[in-house]
Structure formats: structure tokens, C-alpha cells
A and B are shown apart, each in its own frame.
Chain A
Amino acid sequence: MLLYALRRLLLAVPLLIGITFISFLVIHLAPGEPSEIQTGDMSIQSDKQMRERLREEYGLDKPLHMQYWNWFSRLTRLDFGKSFSPDARPVLQKISERLPVTLLLNVVEMLIIVALAVPIGALSATRQYSTFDKVTTVFVFVGFATPDFWLALLLMILFGVQLGWLPISGLRSLNWEYLSFWRQQGDFVGHLLLPIVVATFGGLAGFSRYMRQSMLEVVRQDYIQSARAKGLAERVVIGKHALRNAMLPIVTVLGLSLPGLIGGSVIVESIFAIPGMGQLMVQAVFERDYPVIMGNLVIVATLTLVANLVADITYSFVDPRIRVGGRRGRR
């Protein structure tokens, strides 16, 4: 097992290099350079000299493979470089100030999704074609089909403008500094409520469908039959034998959505004016701020690889069949 994990870890290194190299190439292929954007491209003041100097400072005058090498060798020392944006702050600092809110939002969203999707999926599977199943199916497809931004705007109009119950956008009220501690927490939760609802709504659809499918498969298995034959109560059959097994694929899906936790949703963050990773990334792309884009990418890529590995390993722990298979395979 340990050897297996080690081998996978070693394989991840060339994979990571490959990912970063290709991304580096693609990003640099996009038209427009930060030096051009900053010196007022297409503006009367546009200054050629300045542009050349900035290119030099950013290292954009060197051939692409040299640029990649410079970037990569810094990365091996865990130096993500400085942002190309005019505040020239370290990339890690920029990311770390945006990360907490995105992480919070996504973790809460994920917990809610799992907490709701598992029972919904299980119930609609065990009562296949019942009214409950039909209603949830419709609901789920509506959830799939509803664009985030549209739902967000509707909710904002209803709860923010018409009823005035919830704040429309941002993270804190303007008078936040002057509120008592509990009021501050309440204010913060109030601001996060709508974004979480919107983000959950879309995600819930996929997850509960997944759960339903997996459950449907499990209840058709022989061991469920034998559990029933043993004379166990239906609740025990479903709750203990079926549900546990049906959860297996969910573990994989959950593991794979781990990197998404720090990615941030561009649409939700932009609409609700939440200063998270999604917004940082979009702005970096518009400004062609290569170090920030690449920094973000390295983190997400690393997390994806790690999550893959973790999911595989957990899977083998949860499912004894895999473990046995693995041993046999190595022999």
C-alpha cells in the first residue's frame, strides 16, 4: 500500500511539470501582454520605451522556454514570484488574502450539498417512480438548468430589493466595525446566505442524481436480497447495508471536488461581489498577470493530483475488494 502511494506520488511530479508547462504556453499564447495593457495600449500616451522596459523587468523579452525555466526554478524554492499588477505584491500574499472566504463558502456549500443530496438520492432510489422521486427529479433538472447568475439576480431582487431582508452583495455591512461581536457574526452570515443558496442549488442537482443512481444499483445486488432474506427490517437493510455501499462512489466524487474548494466560482463571486479566488483569477487573466494565474494553477493542479491519490487510497480502505485486488495485482 505504502509503495503504491509512493509510486503514485513520484508519478505526480512529471505530471505536474507537464501541466504547468502546457498552461504556461497556453497563457502566453493569448494575445496582449501585461506590459502593453499597463502602458495604456491604444492610448495616446502609449509609450514604447516604457513597454520595452516593463517587458525586460517582467522577463517577457526572453524566449518562452527560458521564461518557463526561470519561473519553475523559483517555484522549486516555493517562490511564486511577484504579481505583474502595478502593486507588485507577492503572489502568495495575494492568494492567501483571498483564499479564506472562498474556502469557507465552498466548504459550507459542500457540507450542505452532501447533507441534502445523500438522503434525497437514497430516498428517491428506494421509492423509484414514486411521487417523491418524480418531484425531486423535476427539482433536480430545474436545478441543473437554472443559470447561477439568473437565480442569483432573482433572489437578490426578492430578498434584497423587494423584501429588504438580506443584503445584496459584499461580505460585511458598512457599519460592521461598530457592531457587537454577535451582530458582526450575524451580519456576516446574512451576507453569505444568498451566495451559499445559489451555489448549493446547482451542485445539489448533480450530487443527488449521482447518489440515486448508485443506490439503485446497490439495491439490486444479491447481498441486499440475502439481507432481506435474513429477515432484517427494511430500515436496516437500506440504512446499513445499502447506504454504506452506495456511498462508495460518492467518496471518489467528493475527493475529486476537493481542488474545486479553492478554485472559487467566478460567477457567484462576481455577482455577489465577494473578494475570493474566482475574482482574483478573473482579474489576473484580464490583466495578463501571469505569476498570479500560474500560482493559482499550481495550487489547483497539485490539489487535484493529491485529491486523486487520496480518493484512490481512501477508496481502497472503504472497499475491501479493491485492497484485495491490489495485492493480487502486485504479486
Chain B
Amino acid sequence: MKPFASAGPLALTLALALGGCGGEADSAVEQVGARGGEKAAYGDTFIEALTGNISGLIPNILSDSASFEVGSLIYSGLVMRDRDLNVVPELAESWKFSKDCLNLTFKLRSNVRWHDGQPFTASDVVFTYDTMINPKTPTAYREDFKAVESVTAPDPLTVRIRYKQPYAKALQSWGTWVLPQHLLEPYVREGKLREAPQNRSNPVGTGAYRFNQWKPGEKVVLVANPDYFEGRPYISRVVYRIIPSQATIFLELKARGVDSAGLTALQFKRQTEYPAFRKAYHKYQYPANAYTYLGFNLKDPRFADRRVRQAFAHAIDKRELIDGVLLGLGRDATGPYKPGTWAYNGNVRTYPHDLEKARALLAAAGWRDKNADGLLVNRDGQPFKFELMTNQGNDERKKVAEIVQASLKELGIQVEIRVIEWASFLKEYIKKRRFEAIILGWGIGLDPDQYEIWHSSKTGPDELNHISYANPEVDALLDAGRSSCLQEDRKKYYDRLQEVLAEDQPLVFLYFRDALPVVSARVRGIVPAPNGIRYNFNEWYVPKHLQRYTAG
């Protein structure tokens, strides 16, 4: 999972589902320079920049995006997502669901070996399940396996899973990285997985790349796995350089010290448009997996009135917002799902910029300008005035807050902006529900289940429905959506969910920003797709005459 969502940990990230590799549910809108005609060749080194040090080498027990990125090349899951975000087999050869969605059977590939030469078998899968469910394992991804009743391996190439009740994310959850039983079993038993040498210095997986070295704070080096079950990947070495400063990464990019980086809108539009850069790099653009929103504390009687929220939606010009904040590199959000994904429903109520409508809605809710001073007051004469909070360190959100402030001022509503450091913002304000309105973002997972965010049972202090949204119809739809394993059935529930959310505006959905990666132009085989660009990294190559690093 790449942290395209925003500047590192600043995105409220929902659903960091440990899916297969790659993992951006994105659709390509620009396809630059997918030239063919050159012969695929082995060799060369691909250099990537990570802003954070990785925290370990067994991603199942980690939670930082840098470790996921490195781990996704070393390990594989039973299933993964293909270019169009469909779930496809990886370590599995095929799978079968029983009609009641309760039994799932995987047939495994027979030619897979761990990086140390040991064969991969069904008992490794059972072991991985046992590891994830073991209370001593410090993992944040146990939730996915709580619905499982039993996992068995009737023979070395078959895995049978039985669920207690139908679980919509059953199949996708097996994208979890499979761990080697023969090396890790004693550590898991003692609850010391973190101290296993495989987490610190020599991880063993089944993925396309083998571990070579990790110099903490400096770099991680991976080399191509010649015995990879889908054939040796073309690029022979991948070097992750740890460069904490975004400004430095951009300069390294200009000096060709790194081969790939994500750009900001400003860099993408204004600072990389000169010929030398266009020649050295190909730029890509697709919507990232995160949206920005204006959220309300629905316990506040002013915001509990739906007409007020709808008025706000009408008052904010999303186009102006996207142009002003993202230089146009984003698209407006109509709901919590990204356009182009299967769960997305574009046929919902929208809120075009219309101040007259907004005024009418506010008047209906009892907010009028009584003495023609331009300020709205309620029946008791109290002015409409509230505090809009967002977190420090995210310039984008601050700008959004300013534009919202200006838009609402036109309606006669006074907004005060308050920017607070991230950790205290979460702990003191969000978790304690001490806010009136907020500008924040949600990262969205590959599965449309958003139970944790919208369900009325999730409004407790540590839970994610911090706007305190409660709608019985939404609750029912969320329950139904997560208990079927058939996409067609689920689609109906989520379509309706989006209609209700659009009508209700529990929060004003603002926009999906674009991910803006660039990759060295010498690399071929990149095919932008709904799943971004990284999903087929194993097929990327550099033609022989363009290879830059020959050593190794």
C-alpha cells in the first residue's frame, strides 16, 4: 500500500488491508509513453526513495507504508489484485466458494519454493493463519481472520477454510503475506516474532525479490529471485534509499539519483515541465485512494439538521477547491467510493454550487439574516458561528479550510479555523468528540465495506464513526453488504448506501486527489490501469542499451 493518500501519516487511513501487492485502486487517466518495440531484457537496478526507515521485515506485524512496500516484493499472498482490481490467484492456483459462502477451498501452486529452497505447502498457510490469530502476535490485522472457524490442510496443496458466518472480505483477506512455517514457528509460539532474525536481517518469502541487505536509515537492497514461480523478474536489483526530506527526493530526481517518486501538484504542473525532465521521466496521473471531506459533529444540534449540511454542500464550489488547492489535479467526490471502482455509484444526488439554494435551505432550517447585517441568526438571535479544525503539517487541508471559510462567509456564517498538531488533534479533539467541524481525509481500502465509519454501533470513544452518524437504513445496508460473498448482491447494497449518504450528507464529500508518480523513462512495460502502475512491477524492464547500473 503506497501512502499516496497524503503526506505520510497525516491521512486518517482506513482499511490498510493487507491485500496482495501493489494495491492502489486507481484508474489511469493519462497514459504516457507506453512505447513498445524494444526487447525485454534482464538487468539494471531500480532506485526508489522511501521517506521513512522501514521498521522491520515481516510486514504482517508492521504498520508503516515503507515496510509494506518492501515486503510486497519479498512475500506473496494466496491471492492478489490484477490491473483491473479483480482478485486473481497468486500462490493459489484456484479457489472455490460453497453456495452458502461458508466454505472456501484453495488449490495451491505446486512449483513454489521459499527463498531458502524449502518447498511451500498448505501447512505454511495454516501456520500463517495460526500466527495471525495467535494473541501473542503483535499484528494489527487480526480482524480479517476473526470470522474464520477453522483452517485445515487435507493435503499439501489444498487449504480448506470454514467461516462462522458469511464474510464479504473472505477472499481478499487471503492476500495476506504467507509466512514460512519451518523458520518462524518457534518464535510465534513464544510470542517473539518481532525478535526473529527474519524480521531483522534475513526475511524468507516466496516473492519475486530476495532480501540482500538493510542498512537502517540508509537503504534496503533486494535482488531478483531467479526461482520465482512466475519466472525471474527483469529488473535485477531494487534499492530503496531512505531519504526523509521530500525536497531532497525531488532534487535527487532531477539529478537522476532516484528512478521514481510521487510528485506534489505544484511539482507536477509547474516544476517538471521543462524538456530535460520530460525526456528523463514519464509522468502518470490517477485518482488516489483517499478523499478529503468537511465533517460535522452531528451531536451539535445545528449540524444534526440535514438541511444545514446540504446547504453547506451547495455553498462550496468543488471545482474552485480542486483548482485552488490541487491545481486541478483531482476530481470531486460524490460519496465515499472512488469513481471507476465496482462499488462506485455515480447516479446519486449532487450539489452544484448554488448560493440561492443554500440560503433557502438554511432559511428552512431557521437561519435567517434578520437585521440585514449579512450574518445569519436563529430564532433566539444567536449568530451561526463555529470552529473548523484540521491537523498541522498538511497544507492542503489548511487551504481547503480557508476556502470553506470564505464560501460560508458569503452565506453569513462565521467560521474560525484552528490548526492542531496531529497527535493531540486525534487524542484530545477527535476521540473525545470535542469539535464542531473538521477537514480531514479517509483513505479507502480495496473492499467497499465501510462498516467502521458509518455504522451507528461504531460511535464509541476509540471508534471511527467520530461524527456520530446514525441512520438505521445505513446500518442495515452495511450489515447486508458485509455478509455476502457475491459481488452482484453487494453492489446493490452499496449503490443504495451511496444514494442515502449523498442525500444525507453526513459529511460534505469534497474530492479525490490524484496520485502523481513519475518513473524513469528508461523503464519499459509500465501499463497504467485502474490499479495504478505498480501492480506489474515484475514485468517492468530496461532495454539492454539503456541500462544504467551494470554491477550486480
- List residues of chain A with CB under 8 Å of any chain B CB: 30-32, 37-50, 53-54, 57, 85-89, 94, 97-98, 149, 153, 156-157, 160-161, 164, 167-171, 174-175, 177-178, 270-273, 275-276, 279-280, 282-283, 286-287
A273 to B240, CA, bound (A): 12
With a CB–CB cut-off of 8 A, which chain A residues contact B15? 43-45
Chain B, range 482-538, C-beta contacts under 8 Å to A: none
Q: CA separation between A247 and B239, bound complex, in Å?
A: 49
Q: How far is the CA of A39 from the CA of B52 in the complex (A)?
A: 18
* Cβ A45 vs Cβ B141 within 8 A: yes
Partner of B257, one of A32, A45, A169, A286: A169
Complex Cα distance, B547 from A317, in Å, reads 63
B146 → chain A closest CB, angstroms = 9
- Residue pair B62, A86 in contact (C-beta under 8 Å): yes
- B5-36 near A? 1/0 per residue, CB < 8 Å: 00001001111110000000000000000000
Within residues 443 to 464 of chain B, which ones have a CB less than 8 A from any CB in chain A?
445, 450, 452-453, 462, 464
Shortest A247–chain B CB gap in Å is: 37
Given contacts A44-B464, A161-B251, A168-B257, A94 and B424 within 8 Å (CB-CB): no
Within 8 A of A (CB), among B114-152: 135-136, 138-144
> Judging by beta carbons under 8 Å apart, are A44 and B244 in contact?
no
The size class of the interface chain B forms with chain A is: 35 or more
B217 adjacent to chain A (CB < 8 Å): yes
Asked if A171 contacts B195 (CB within 8 A), the reply is: no
Interface residues of B in 163-199 (CB under 8 A from A): 194-195, 199
Of all chain A residues, the one with the shortest Cβ separation from B217 is A275
Q: How many A-B residue pairs have CB under 8 A?
A: 155
- The verdict on A168 contacting B255 (CB below 8 Å), with A156-B248, A270-B245 known, is yes
Indicate which residue in A89, A153, A160, A275 contacts B247 across the interface (CB closer than 8 Å): A153
| B194, B257, B445, B452: the one within 8 Å of A86 (CB) | B194
B242 within 8 A of A: yes
Q: A32-B426, A43-B140 in contact; A275/B216 too (CB < 8 A)?
A: yes
Contact A275 B242 (CB under 8 A): yes
Contacts A169-B243, A169-B257; A40 near B140 (Cβ below 8 A): yes
Contact yes or no, A157 B217, CB < 8 A: no
- CB neighbours of A50 from chain B (8 A): 138-140, 142
Q: Which residues of B lie under 8 Å from residue A57 when comparing CB positions? A: 138
- In the complex, residue of chain A having the shortest beta-carbon distance to the beta carbon of B67: A86
Does B428 lie within 8 Å of A171, measured CB to CB? no
A96 to chain B, nearest CB (A): 11
Are B248 and A40 closer than 8 Å at their CB atoms?
Answer: no
* Segment from B53-61, B329-337, B340-348 that makes contact with A: B53-61
The 9 tightest CB contacts between A and B, nearest first, are A275-B217, A32-B423, A31-B427, A88-B194, A40-B140, A273-B243, A44-B15, A270-B244, A86-B56
- Beyond A54-B138, A171-B218, A175-B551, whether A42 also contacts B13 by CB under 8 A is yes
Specify which of B218, B219, B427, B452 lies most central, judged by the most chain A CB atoms within 10 Å of its CB. Answer: B218
B140 adjacent to A279 (CB under 8 Å)? no
